[in-house]
Amino acid sequence: MKKIYQILPLVGFFFFVLWLIIEADLNRSNFISEIGHSIPWGDKIGHFSLFGILALLLNTAIRFRQISIFRRKFHLGSVIVFAFAIAEEFTQIAFSTRTFDLLDMLFDLVGIGVLSSVAFRKFLVQSLRSIASSLSRSFLLDKKQTLDKSS
């Protein structure tokens, strides 16, 4: 049941992002795109937020699994989301209503990096607390058993 709660937000948010992409590809306006167009740098903030949150959710769901690329470690979820973002940006070339923009990809990458690092730090802290709690319980049980044997 815990896995479902980890995956459900990811799946829901992924379909939300897909819906936004399809709406943009079909040149349809929606409340999100209207907000993005009404504020300065709204499109870039949208790229930063959407792909950053998507990477955060995927990394959390797969417990920040890492892979090595050119001898450097990266979070697998971040790599997958960035590949998706690049593919999505390049597909815009096929639509007369869309424009390919390298700056959008840069904001995708920065959003993925920033939000994944913040989440990873929180994940590390929670993991270390869990380990410390487990060790202290183990230590207390060992100490109790030692005291019980000596009594």
Residue 64 token pair = 């920040």
Phi, psi of 66 (to 5 degrees): -115, 155
- pLDDT the model gives residue 132: 78
Low-confidence ranges of the chain (pLDDT < 70): 1, 138-151
- pLDDT the model gives residue 36: 79
The per-residue pLDDT for range 61-96, each reduced to its tens digit, is 888 898 999 998 889 999 999 999 999 999 999 988
CB 29 within 8 A of CB 37: no
- pLDDT the model gives residue 27: 87
What's the pTM value of the predicted model, to 2 decimals? 0.76
CB 43 within 8 A of CB 27: no
- pLDDT the model gives residue 54: 96
* Alpha-carbon torsion (111, 116, 121, 125), positive or negative: positive
